[in-house]
Structures are given as C-alpha cells and as structure tokens.
Amino acid sequence: MSTTGANADPLAALGSLPGVAGSVESVRKAVDRVYGHRIMRRRSTEITAEAALRGARGSAALSGADWALEEVRRRTDFGADDESRVMGAALRLSAEAGQLLSVWRQSPLRVLARLHLVAAADKADEVGRPRQAGETVDEPLIELPLPDAGEVSGRLEGLADLIIAGTSAPALVTAAVVHGELLALRPFVSHNGLVARAAERIVLIGSGLDPKAICPAEVGHAELGRASYLAALDGYVSGTPEGMAAWIAHCGRAIELGARESTAVCEALQRGAA
C-alpha cells in the first residue's frame, strides 16, 4: 500500500471505495449481535477464551497445520514436528495479542517484533526483527514476489506512521490493511502469516470493534479457504481500487464468520452443552 500523496489519511480514503461501506456495516451488525447475546452478560470470559483457541486453530490451518479443534485441545506437545510447531506458535500468539494493545498505539514495530519473537520461540539472530538483505523467508504457502529488505523497511515505517498518527478509517479497513501489508511484505524470516493475523486481531480489539476479542477473524479466514484467501491477497497486492476493496470485503466476511462461530458457542453454553 502506498502511504504517500496528498491525502493525509489514506486509510480513511479506502473506506470510500465501492462496496467497503457495506462491508463495514455488515461487520458491525454481526459483531453487535454477539455482544448482545444474553450469555455474554455472565460468561464473556469463557467466550473470549474459546474464541482465542478457535482463532489460533484457524490461523494455524492457513499456515499448513489444519487440525481438528479437539486435537488442539488434547495436545500438550507442540514441538514434535513442523505442524505442531506451527500450532504452538499460533496458540502463543493468540495468548499474547491482547497484552500488547497499549504498545501497539505507540510503537507498532515493537509489537510486530515481539509477535515474531513469540511465534518463533527461539533466540536466533534473525528472530524478532525485520529480515535483512540476503536473508530468505520460510513462507511456502504465499508465493508472491518477495520485496527486498529496503522496500520492507520503508513500507513498515510508513505503516507504523499511519497507525501512530491515527485514522478515521473504520476498524475493518485498518485491520485489513495491516494484515494485507504484512502478508505482502513478509518482513520476517518465518511465521509472517501467523504474525499478520495476530496483528489484525490487535487492531480489531484496540479499535473498540471487538474489545473482548470474541469475533475471531482467523476462524473466518480458514473457513473461506486458503485459495480464496490468496486470491483476495492478490487483489490487495495489485493496489487497484477493485483489488483493495475485494481484500477488505474478504476480511470483513472473515470477521462475520468469526462472530457467527462465537454466537454458536454462546448458544451451546446457553443450552448447557459446552
């Protein structure tokens, strides 16, 4: 995404793209329905915990570890193989995201570095910082051309400046841009998809759209499928108004599906079945 030009708030400008206002309104209604559920008055902490688990499962599925939910609940060893390490990283990020809100508003780049450190869970030199010239990226499921380290640095700084300056853009638009930009840049040597989806979650929580983190967009992204996810990402990377609008709409639909998932959890709790 270009962050230059006469418009002082380019994120807000995206809100006027054809179809985006409808997505924003549809997401708001879906989120409001969950928050208005009677079970939320008494058991919101349980809904939040369940959403975090299901969100982690969805994010991991998009990164190649597509496990059944009960398998995620049952397992305790998340270091035995590549898939289990991806799942462990997704679970750690889901737990960490809500702890970084105040830092995000002041220093988004610090938060992104922290998310990568949490995901990678090791102390290698390349962990917890943007990749440098000559370093490769382990992100086999995203096959887009890889920006060089210099472009990554400049675009990350531009994105951070937009977040720190604040925007009048709807939360959906900001979350979609943060998510899409991180996927397009793949700024770290690994775990970029997981980090991008965790950053989307942070924006949705911090914006006030989903303050209790009960509408896991990661669930919706996984339900829509990897092919649809990557096709929408192609639209974002194209930079065209139509492509950007399609990506924002895709992210909006994912949030709606996450809200539907938590509504089902509320209904199950109400029936005493969960």
**Among the listed residues 55, 61, 14, 97, the one whose alpha carbon sits nearest the alpha carbon of residue 229:** 61
Segment 96-106 mean pLDDT: 92
Segment 10-30, tens digit of pLDDT: 999 999 999 999 999 999 999
Output the pLDDT for position 165. 93
149 is a domain residue: yes
Question: Residue 59: pLDDT above 90?
Answer: yes
Segment 24-39 mean pLDDT: 97
Report the number of distinct structural domains present in the chain.
1
4 is a domain residue: no
55 is a domain residue: yes
Cα atoms in the 13 Å half-sphere on the side-chain side of 244: 22
Question: Residue 74: pLDDT above 70?
Answer: yes
Cα atoms in the 13 Å half-sphere on the side-chain side of 135: 20
2 is a domain residue: no
For residue 114, give its domain range. 11-271
CATH number of 20's domain: 1.10.3290.10
Output the pLDDT for position 78. 87
Residues whose CB falls within 8 Å of the CB of residue 115, separated by 6 or more in sequence, listed in order: 93, 96, 97, 100, 195, 198, 199
Output the pLDDT for position 4. 40
3 is a domain residue: no
193 is a domain residue: yes
Segment 47-60 mean pLDDT: 97
24 is a domain residue: yes
* SS3 annotation, 180-216: HHHHHHCCCCECHHHHHHHHHHHHHHHCCCCCCCCCC
Question: Residue 98: pLDDT above 90?
Answer: no
Pick from 72-76, 122-126, 247-251: least confident = 122-126
Segment 235-243 mean pLDDT: 97
Residues whose CB falls within 8 Å of the CB of residue 166, separated by 6 or more in sequence, listed in order: none
Q: How confident is the model at residue 1 (pLDDT cuts 50, 70, 90)?
A: low
Q: How confident is the model at residue 67 (pLDDT cuts 50, 70, 90)?
A: very high
Output the pLDDT for position 128. 92
6 is a domain residue: no
Segment 158-208, tens digit of pLDDT: 999 999 999 999 999 999 999 999 999 999 999 999 999 999 999 999 999
Question: Residue 6: pLDDT above 50?
Answer: no
